[in-house]
Amino acid sequence: MLISIIIPAYNVENYIEECVHSAFSQTWPEKEVICIDNNSTDGTWKKLQQLQHQYPELIIDKELKAGAPAARNKGLRLSHGQWLQFLDADDLLMPGKIEHQQKQIQQNPKSSFIAGACIKRDLKGIETKHIPRHDHPLKSLFITQLGITSSNLWNRTLIEQVNGWDESLKSSQEADLMFRLLQVNDQVIFDDEPLTIVRERPSGQISQTNPKEKWMRYFNKRLEMVRWIDQHRPELYIKEKDFFMDNLFGLLKIIGNEDLNAACQLYRQHLKGRYRPSPNQNHSTHPYLWLYKSFGFRGAEICRKWQNRLLGR
């Protein structure tokens, strides 16, 4: 079975060589590697040309439309694999990653994707394992515990059925893709073996440059999920309503750290009068819940901010 490894590349001249090496080092023999340069202004394209001399079978091309989703879709159109490995250029695959997951496909070849574990390596070299949450896939996705782009392996048939990556999104891209896949087929294979390394970069991440907009998009995507689950999976919604609403509330508190007025507006639109924070949630202390009950969302958030200032947080 052919596996296509698709690598979008934007200003990654210091990362792309090791990334491509990790792709060609896969022990699974039936593979193709495709790199798509996405308007790089550094030496990425030159590095790709050099790598093509080292690996003549390497396919390289360019995508002028900005954004990793457009580059991934370009690679998808050029690829021939039955299953797809989307690999970000600053990430690495351990040699047995694809062979390991290819064996798991045999358990359920009609699954939408494999939700894979990964190792995240920060700028200091400290590594942390991230394991997908074994739960209903919609619950795991809701709290971003259903694998990530590079750790997962994707069913081409289903990817094409949902028209690939949404090229209009600046963040929440993988969550959007997984959500659309789960609407069609919510069968997922969970893989707890961390065979992907996700390397932190000092710059170029949306979460570092525009946190408010990033969290607003994150919240709106989860709100879309809740509404769809309520309509199309009512048994799951009824059973897990507190879970979903508690997590939406926690996201509003994060947004409130950046823009309290925006958080309060979202609260009034979507939660006020329809939700009471559960004492079982892990992001609200009992004193906070008392403040919320006494002074409402805005009052509780103002008190929390003052407390954090006093504590130097």
Report residue 303 as tokens.
């008190």
Return d(Cα 199, Cα 120) in angstroms, integer: 6
For the chain (length 313 residues), average pLDDT per consecutive 10?
97 96 98 97 97 97 96 98 97 98 94 98 94 98 97 98 95 95 98 96 56 91 97 97 94 93 95 85 83 92 81 63
CA neighbours closer than 13 Å in the CB half-sphere of residue 131: 5
Query: Among all chains, which residue has been given the structure tokens 């979202």?
Result: 266
C-beta of residue 212 within 8 angstroms of C-beta of residue 259: yes
Specify burial of residue 55 (Cβ count, 10 A radius: 0-12, 13-18, 19+): middle
The packing angle between helices 44-54 and 16-24, to 10°, is 30
Angle of CA points 98, 112, 189, to nearest 5°: 60
Total-model pTM = 0.92
**Bridge-partner residues for 93, per DSSP?**
196
Amino acid residing at 151? S
Nearest to 133 by CA among 205, 78, 80, 192: 192
Over residues 6-61, the pLDDT tens digits come to 999 999 999 999 999 999 999 999 999 999 999 999 999 999 999 999 999 999 99
